[in-house]
Amino acid sequence: MDQKDNSQYLTVTALTQYLKRKFDVDPYLGHVYLMGEISNFRPRPNSHQYFSLKDNKAKISAIMFKSAFSKVKFVPEEGMKVLVRGRISLYEPSGTYQIYVESMEPDGLGALYLALEQLKKKLAQQGVFDLPKKEIPKFPKRIAVVTSQSGAVIHDIMTTVARRYPIAQLVLFPAQVQGDEAAPTIVKQLKRINEMGNFDTIIIGRGGGSIEDLWPFNEEIVAQAIVSSQIPIISSVGHETDTTIADMVADLRAATPTAAAELATPVLRDVLLHLQDLNTRIYNAENKIIQNYRDKVNNYSQNAMLQHPERIYQVYMQNVDTLTSKLHQTLQNTIYNNKQLLYDQENRLVRSSPREKLHYYDTTVNNLTQEMLTSVRQIINYKKNKFGSTVSALDSLSPLKTLSRGYAIPTNENHKILKNTSDYKINEEVSLKVIDGTVTLVTQDISEDK
């Protein structure tokens, strides 16, 4: 078999070098004025800057050397729309073309960045950013993690929690963290965790990326789900320089997933040491308190009053004797003065004795009493006689007197006296009151005298 001639095949290096020469000698690519939106920009202090420029349909890698970047008068930001001038060339190691930026000017905000600012303004007007933050539990038992199950975030969190606080249980709730379906899955998992309700803390996050990559965490539905959560949420989206809406509305923001795990858990060893220290401090404090009481007891035991308690009341006994003497003297003086006053009153009464007047009035009272008794007897006799006459007259008119002559008083069941035939009813019971009792009859016939 004849050996194949390979002389007509180019190497990848040869092709790449050929294309690079084409880029370099093309006069239209040597001075290009380009308008685009900054993406994947990570500031590198005192170094070359690497980023991308894009529009709705395409993206190009860009590099700006340190000498050119030092002349830029503003700070480029992610999503910022800029006007750049530079040249297009090919980077041989990767075979990709890129623009080497020589100058840059701002040209307004990019679409995503503008949308982000508008959402921030809307949420600020709703007062979402001013809501009180929930406190992160110091000693969590169960921690829910909402992130991608294949990313480095969950690995970093698991490693950190296992190192710091291994008694806490980590539960992963897998969610998409990039793309159009990411926001709904994040919201779904947050609602699921709150419905379960047996978690102390939630960590939500992903690794770094461009504003497009992090955009699900800038969605309004994600922000509302975080605000509505009854369980405290720690947000760790992107890196330290990335700040999303989720970071702003969460109860606590962490720069990295590792930092989130550290904020969610204490160091178990430190907790145990702290407990041991508290135990020692309590023991020392109790001993100090007991010693203080012992010192007080010893001081009290050396007190002269406690050693000779009779000295306490000796002064009072002396005061009692003094007051007793004063009281005795006061009583004697009072009795003497009252006696003198009594003698004076007695003398005055003797000088103006009412005996004679009393004798006169006594005689007058006796006479009037006799006259009064006589008048009362006469009145009583008169009233008795008049009462007897009245009783006789009443007796002659009494219904009982009439009954004694053979008459009776008929009444119905309502105790109404029946006077006329119209008061009676056939088969109605009628009570007859006679002189010595009551007779009950039943009406059978009623006839009226014409």
Q: Which pLDDT tens digit goes with each residue over 317-354? A: 778 888 898 999 999 999 999 988 898 888 887 777 67
Q: Which residue has the higher pLDDT, 163 or 2?
A: 163
Give every CB contact of residue 234 below 8 A, 6+ residues apart in sequence. 136, 201, 202, 203, 204, 250, 251, 252, 253, 254, 260, 263, 264
Residue 214, pLDDT > 60, answer yes
Percent of the chain at pLDDT > 90 equals 39
* Least confident piece of the model among 154-168, 270-284, 392-406, 425-439: 392-406
Q: Tell me the pLDDT band of 54, cut-offs 50, 70 and 90.
A: very high
Q: Which residue has the higher pLDDT, 173 or 321?
A: 173
The pLDDT tens digits of the residues spanning 29-47 come to 889 999 999 999 998 888 9
Work out the average pLDDT over 367-374: 91
Average pLDDT, the chain: 86
Q: What is the pLDDT of residue 231?
A: 95
Q: Which residue has the higher pLDDT, 205 or 117?
A: 205
* Least confident piece of the model among 240-254, 347-361, 404-418, 422-436: 347-361
C-beta of residue 54 within 8 angstroms of C-beta of residue 37? yes
The sign of the torsion formed by the CA atoms of 415, 416, 418, 421 equals negative
Residue 379, pLDDT > 70, answer yes
Give, in order, the Cα–Cα distances in Å from 134 to each of 99, 155, 228, 234: 48, 26, 11, 10
Work out the average pLDDT over 438-443: 86
CA separation for the pair 399, 435 (Å, rounded): 9
Residue 210, pLDDT > 90, answer no
CA separation for the pair 17, 386 (Å, rounded): 162
Phi, psi of 32, deg, nearest 5: -115, 130
- In the structure encoding, which two tokens stand for residue 337, read together? 């003065």
Work out the average pLDDT over 372-393: 88
CA separation for the pair 193, 186 (Å, rounded): 11
C-beta of residue 55 within 8 angstroms of C-beta of residue 70? no
CA separation for the pair 41, 62 (Å, rounded): 10
CA separation for the pair 239, 254 (Å, rounded): 9
Q: What is the pLDDT of residue 263?
A: 93
CA separation for the pair 234, 199 (Å, rounded): 13
CA separation for the pair 274, 419 (Å, rounded): 110
- pTM, to two decimals: 0.46
Tokens 């989720």 locate to 246
The most confident of 16-25, 139-148, 209-218, by mean pLDDT: 139-148
Q: What is the pLDDT of residue 111?
A: 57
Q: What is the pLDDT of residue 444?
A: 83
Q: Tell me the pLDDT band of 5, cut-offs 50, 70 and 90.
A: low
Q: Tell me the pLDDT band of 114, cut-offs 50, 70 and 90.
A: low
Residue 2, pLDDT > 60, answer no
Q: What is the pLDDT of residue 108?
A: 63
Residue 1, pLDDT > 60, answer no
Q: Tell me the pLDDT band of 109, cut-offs 50, 70 and 90.
A: low
